[in-house]
Structure 1
């Protein structure tokens, strides 16, 4: 009986080590992370229109400062030793705004709260943004994005963007944050090409 108990505890320890700490360490504050954005591109604006990026929507489980992990199908948990610097939708909005501003694809790119009357708007629904532990640990991101004509209120185009970044080596908070950031950047790079074709 004792050997069986030790075996179960050993397996649990291996699982927790593989997916990062889910139990907080007493006295330690969670590390805070943000999302980066694409670097400056000095080209002239390609699309002579004003675009606003609305605050993304997300499920309750993702609309949080907590960093999500899926340890098994239909389960969701959160890392205890790390968190986002703001709620995830706000970070995604900021990352997309700064990236598209730096790329100079549109005449102007602003947030929906900036008071600018735009020509087009982006509506974003964050469907996935977590570490998937059901197999090889992988950062999963999925955004459903709609480009809208503000004047007519008609949808110009829509697409589901996905990115999967496998985690290599020991799973630490730094590796988790970096993989999720790479997934977000990959989607933004794909989004930029898509916008250039559907404006």
Structure 2
């Protein structure tokens, strides 16, 4: 009985290893095309933020998003009611995680905070930045990128929301190739995240 269980465990492990090998090798499975391009976002270089209270530390919470945006897929809005995903292309991680990391880096680039933390890092936090990704994709009808992120600034000591705001930006893609779409999304996202950092520094 022990040997049979061990064999079953080995079999499952072998299948898992084979599956990982196929994924890492970008093999096509079941007729699906392999993803050939993986894209990253860049962080805004914030130079016009205001000074904040000395020693202030802020926690960047992972953004929430509807399922259509909570994945590695790059969204194409084909109409007001329908979306598609950009073929053979993806983000480097789930979009909310990528956005979280780049927002944190933008805050760090401002050089205004004593500490910028992510959940689980154990910082003594003064404020939390709570965000919701409402739009993050290409509007096919205008061949442009649109990024909209809603933000709440929370006092971590009192649990009170200090202020809230919605930031939105667009950028022309210029062409319909994947790299042009991603550049446009990156431009719009950097504009949104820079505005976000500046706005937060006016509230603390």
**Offset at 1:45?**
6.3
Q: How many residues align?
A: 172
The answer to whether the 8 Å contact 2:50/2:198 transfers is no
Alignment match, 1:51: 58
Q: Does 1:172 align with 2:177?
A: yes
**Offset at 1:116?**
1.2
**Offset at 1:87?**
0.2
Alignment match, 1:75: 82
Alignment of 1:1-199 (within 5 A): 28-39=34-45, 46-48=52-54, 49-133=56-140, 135-168=141-174, 170-199=175-204
**Offset at 1:113?**
2.4
Q: Distance in 2 between matches of 1:150 and 1:130?
A: 32
**Structure ranking higher in strand proportion:** 1
Q: Distance in 1 between matches of 2:34 and 2:66?
A: 28
3-state SS of 2:38 partner: strand
Q: Distance in 1 between matches of 2:183 and 2:113?
A: 28
**Offset at 1:27?**
6.0
TM-score computed with the length of structure 2 as normaliser: 0.79
Q: RMSD of the alignment, in Å?
A: 2.0
Q: Distance in 1 between matches of 2:50 and 2:181?
A: 36
Deviating above 6 A after TM superposition, structure 1's stretches of 4 or more consecutive aligned residues are none
Unaligned segments of structure 1, at least 5 residues: 1-24
Alpha-carbon spacing, 1:131–1:40, altered in 2? closer, same or farther (3 Å) = closer
Q: Distance in 1 between matches of 2:50 and 2:109?
A: 11
**Offset at 1:79?**
0.8
Q: Distance in 1 between matches of 2:180 and 2:37?
A: 12
User: Of the two, which has the highest radius of gyration?
Assistant: 2
The superposition leaves residues 139-197 of structure 1 with CA deviations (integer Å, 9 ceiling, x where unpaired) of 010000000001110000100000111221x3111111111111110011111221121
TM-score computed with the length of structure 1 as normaliser: 0.81
3-state SS of 1:47 partner: coil
Alpha-carbon spacing, 1:137–1:194, altered in 2? closer, same or farther (3 Å) = same
3-state SS of 1:52 partner: strand
The answer to whether the 8 Å contact 1:53/1:112 transfers is yes
